[in-house]
Chain A
Amino acid sequence: GENVEQHPSTLSVQEGDSAVIKCTYSDSASNYFPWYKQELGKGPQLIIDIRSNVGEKKDQRIAVTLNKTAKHFSLHITETQPEDSAVYFCAALTTSGTYKYIFGTGTRLKVLA
């Protein structure tokens, strides 16, 4: 079945450093890839997304890249701050049969002050 692999599961960085989270998807028909940030006690919040016709998208300190050939997409956070600490999920919208989001297993990011 469709799946999304996400790495690493935990990531600790020093404040000001960059963080990179990587995901690989299996359904080549997937065409939309959102990233969510989930803080304790809250639901996931959309932070950036990318569609399959775009290779890269940037929003201030956050960027996402997509390699359709390799079925990889990555989240890049630059100049990390303590408030970036949270669990980050990648997802892929699968369009084979049922339209649904397949989520990665999450990355717990800790930004050390």
Chain B
Amino acid sequence: KAGVTQTPRYLIKTRGQQVTLSCSPISGHRSVSWYQQTPGQGLQFLFEYFSETQRNKGNFPGRFSGRQFSNSRSEMNVSTLELGDSALYLCASSLGTVSYNEQFFGPGTRLTVL
């Protein structure tokens, strides 16, 4: 069974640009969560999508948004990039919502903002 896949793996952008990251969950999993990982802040929860609906949201500004498609694939968008958005963005998939199921992480997308 294939694991969680994320594309692209590496991305370099400049301040003010926007970026879209993609995540394909494990087959059969319906929940996708997104996390930002930085050396200073560790792993921080961005949001969770389940059956195309945002179920939970972390404390990030509105520049961070996401969506989920009917095949459970998810995208995350960051608009008006700032230097502080440089991070490893991880997605994790669960069979159901995170409230009841363990989650499995992808390898992440390394975003560098110059």
Contacts and interface: CB of A to CB of B under 8 A. Distances in A.
A89 B58 CA distance: 19
A103 interface: yes
Contact of B58 (A41, A100, A106): A100
A44 B98 CA distance: 16
B104 A46 contact: yes
Contacts of B58: 98, 100
A93 B42 contact: no
B48 A105 contact: no
A100 B45 contact: yes
Given A44-B90, A100-B98, A105 B42 contact: yes
A34 B102 contact: yes
Given A43-B90, A44-B90, A106-B42, A99 B98 contact: yes
Interface of A: 34, 36, 41-46, 49, 89, 91, 93, 95, 98-106
27 contacts: A34-B103, A36-B105, A42-B107, A42-B108, A43-B4, A43-B105, A43-B106, A43-B107, A44-B43, A44-B105, A45-B105, A89-B42, A89-B43, A93-B99, A98-B56, A99-B48, A99-B55, A99-B97, A99-B98, A99-B99, A100-B56, A100-B98, A101-B43, A101-B45, A103-B44, A104-B42, A105-B42
Interface of B: 4, 33, 42-45, 48, 55-58, 90, 92, 97-99, 102-108
